[in-house]
């Protein structure tokens, strides 16, 4: 069995929450959980799409994974050639097929992208790397936040390589605080055949304001990501979602759970009406990853919009379509020292 896919196997007695955790740490192309019984025989699969649908339906993550899994995954034997596999995928409109042995046990996972010629994407990627990273001090007293190390490489290096591995090559990187540290590293040490244009802010321009400074050609739709994010999100899936709906902009969002460590008491007229022990509050959070249409970027330039919430507000006032792309992949916003330590630990799990 391919060693990389062992982390994608889940026993059928486990929960949806367990499946989400496996998907979080999967490499971007292996976004599938293979559910097996006690005899290691495949009984179903779970993909990111299954997770998104379960979240929309408010299905409790503590339910058994069997409640949401696909009971009829596409399985093939190892002796089928690649062209036939590609044909099977196209007919069934799936991105994964499972290679199995005679006992229906998993041998390997074939990914659609691996069977196609690698195609570079022209779409522009904006990486917002101009922040001061005050909450990461003292690390950021000498380095800008995107240059702090994770897995022996700067965070910015990790972000760029993730995009490059998925076919992206055209980058705009906004810089301000200790900008020469970023420029020197990318100009001299990044061993990738990509195009990088720096957007130099003379003063802080908020989360998206630097886009208005771009004079060169932008390839649309364009992706925008904060320079302090580590994720295994499949950006191609995000782009497919955006292109399918063709909105003003798409926001990548993630389900977030906040557990109250105390019992919550509801009171009316001094009378206790309800007592809930350590409730969990769920909401969707903005992950700092967006796909912007040409119209959205032109509006940023015209109105000199600095912060993303302002763009959303103006877009809503103009009755523009703004879509949310729900994902369950691994994601962390490295804002403070504890986040950095967590990212270091998580990086080992992802590899």
What confidence tens digit (pLDDT) does each residue in 213-239 have?
999 999 999 999 999 999 988 898 898
d(C-alpha 51, C-alpha 46), whole Å: 7
The pLDDT value given to residue 165: 83
The pLDDT value given to residue 330: 85
What confidence tens digit (pLDDT) does each residue in 258-281 have?
888 888 899 988 898 888 888 888
pLDDT band at 114; cut points 50, 70, 90: low
According to DSSP, the residues that pair with 289 across neighbouring strands are 225
Mean pLDDT of 201-207: 87
Hey, where are the domains in the chain? 3-115, 122-350
Mean pLDDT of 191-210: 88
| pLDDT at residue 118 is higher than 60 | no
Quickly name the fold that domain 122-350 has.
Spore Coat Polysaccharide Biosynthesis Protein SpsA; Chain A (3.90.550)
The architecture CATH gives domain 3-115: Roll (3.10)
The pLDDT value given to residue 115: 64
d(C-alpha 66, C-alpha 16), whole Å: 8
H-only helix segments in 175-214:
179-188
The pLDDT value given to residue 189: 64
- Lowest mean pLDDT segment, chosen from 85-89, 125-129, 250-254: 85-89
Give percent of the chain above pLDDT 90: 35
Residue predicted with more confidence, 117 or 288: 288
d(C-alpha 297, C-alpha 339), whole Å: 31
DSSP per residue, 122-170: EEEEEEE-----GGGTTGGGTS-GGGSEETTEEHHHHHHHHHHHTTEEE
Closest CA to 25 of 238, 233, 164, 168: 233
For CA atoms 202, 206, 226, 166, the dihedral sign is negative
What confidence tens digit (pLDDT) does each residue in 305-318 have?
999 999 999 999 99
Residue 85 tokens, joined: 């596999």
């Amino acid at each position: 069995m391919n060693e990389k896919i062992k982390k994608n196997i889940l026993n059928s007695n486990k929960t949806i929450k367990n499946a989400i955790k496996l998907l979080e740490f999967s490499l971007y192309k292996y976004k599938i959980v293979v559910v097996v019984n006690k005899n290691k025989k495949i009984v179903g699969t779970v993909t990111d799409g299954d997770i998104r649908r379960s979240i929309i339906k408010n299905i409790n993550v503590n339910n058994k994974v069997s409640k949401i899994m696909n009971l009829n995954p596409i399985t093939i034997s190892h002796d089928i050639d690649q062209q036939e596999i590609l044909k099977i995928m196209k007919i069934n409109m799936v991105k994964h097929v499972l290679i199995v042995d005679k006992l229906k046990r998993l041998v390997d996972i074939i990914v659609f992208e691996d069977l196609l010629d690698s195609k570079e994407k022209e779409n522009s990627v904006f990486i917002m790397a101009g922040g001061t990273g005050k909450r990461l001090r003292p690390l950021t007293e000498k380095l800008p936040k995107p240059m702090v190390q994770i897995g022996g490489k700067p965070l910015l290096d990790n972000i760029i390589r993730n995009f490059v591995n998925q076919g992206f090559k055209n980058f705009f990187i906004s810089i301000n605080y200790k900008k020469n540290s970023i420029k020197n590293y990318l100009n001299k040490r990044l061993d990738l055949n990509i195009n990088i244009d720096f957007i130099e802010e003379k003063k802080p321009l908020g989360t998206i304001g630097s886009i208005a400074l771009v004079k060169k050609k932008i390839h649309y739709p364009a992706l925008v990501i904060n320079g302090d994010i580590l994720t295994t999100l499949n950006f191609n899936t995000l782009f497919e979602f955006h292109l399918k709906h063709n909105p003003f902009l798409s926001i990548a969002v993630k389900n977030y759970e906040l557990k109250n460590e105390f019992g919550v008491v509801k009171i009316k007229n001094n009378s206790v009406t309800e007592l809930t022990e350590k409730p969990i509050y769920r909401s969707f959070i903005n992950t700092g990853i967006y796909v912007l249409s040409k119209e959205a970027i032109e509006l940023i330039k015209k109105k000199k919009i600095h912060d993303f919430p302002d763009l959303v507000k103006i877009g809503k006032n103009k009755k523009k379509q703004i879509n949310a792309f729900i994902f369950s992949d691994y994601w962390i916003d490295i804002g403070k020292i504890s986040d950095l330590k967590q990212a270091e630990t998580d990086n080992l799990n992802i590899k």
